[in-house]
Amino acid sequence: YTALSYTWGPPLPSAAILVDGHKFQVRLNLYTFLLASAQTMDETKLRLYWIDQLCIDQNDNNERATQVSIMDRIYSGASRTIIWLGTDDGIGRILGENVSDRVLELTFAHWTEEPADRLWLRSGKEVAWWRWLCTNSYWSRVWIVQEVLLSRNASIQLGVRLFSWATFRCAFYDLALTDASFHAQPHFDLLSWLCMESGGTIQWRGGARLESAIAMTKMQQCQDVRDTIYALLSLVRNGQRIRADYSISVKTLYKKVVQRVCSGN
């Protein structure tokens, strides 16, 4: 199956889809992804997705907590993870239809085979396109951290275009090395961390210290404040993990976090 990593977006506007013959309301960003995927779908083959908005009963706190506790299995077990960044209807169109196609043709070989002063993002348009990609609201979501780090085969989808996480990492490193102003981008620190850790330099599956994971994601956003902790549990070492429980208050949860961090030290 393919796991989807995306932002929910605002509850309205929404759109109706059919699930087992019944109408089901989904948020617009997910609906847009489903439409884009349908355009590239082979009608002769079944495509199986795991999507939290559809696979978890969001009105059942017990089910939510149970699913949160196995997120590591869900994303590490997926044959592929799609990172959905929305449609290419912003600066991608402004810069010209062929810009993103040109950028996506570039490979890691272009980056490694040339001198350091001739890296592979040549034109201003290519640089602007990648900078725009790195400011996407997707990167502000706390849940995406474990989804990216735990995935064994991640691809980024923008509209109907699809490219590998390795290509994205390559472009990010290029921008970081050649454009000092890029370091001031709002998501630069998080992206640096994701690009480094997803490259396999550190084993994060169940190996992070709770306080380290919290510190690295302190600027990330979520709808439920408790998810600032629960969204990290799959990255945290077993001795510091906290059982997800949506029946407790934020205050109670934070007390548990402090106790677990102190006992871990």
Is residue 239 in some structural domain? no
Is residue 211 in some structural domain? no
Is residue 220 in some structural domain? no
CA distance 50 to 3: 5
Angle between helices 143-150 and 188-197 (to 10 degrees): 20
Per-residue pLDDT, 178: 79
More confident position, 226 or 97: 226
Q: Could you list the residue range(s) of the whole structural domain that residue 73 is in?
A: 2-205
CA distance 208 to 239: 10
Is residue 214 in some structural domain? no
SS3 for 108?
Answer: helix
CA distance 85 to 210: 28
CA distance 244 to 225: 13
Per-residue pLDDT, 108: 42
Question: Lowest-confidence range among 3-12, 63-72, 166-175?
Answer: 166-175
Per-residue pLDDT, 117: 43
Per-residue pLDDT, 196: 84
Strands 22-27 and 14-19: antiparallel
As a whole number, the mean pLDDT across the chain is: 83
Is residue 229 in some structural domain? no
Is residue 241 in some structural domain? no
Q: How many domains does the chain have?
A: 1
Tens of pLDDT, residues 93-130: 555 455 555 555 554 445 444 444 444 455 677 777 77
Q: In what order do the strands lie in the sheet with 49-50?
A: 49-50, 2-5, 80-84, 154-158, 161-164
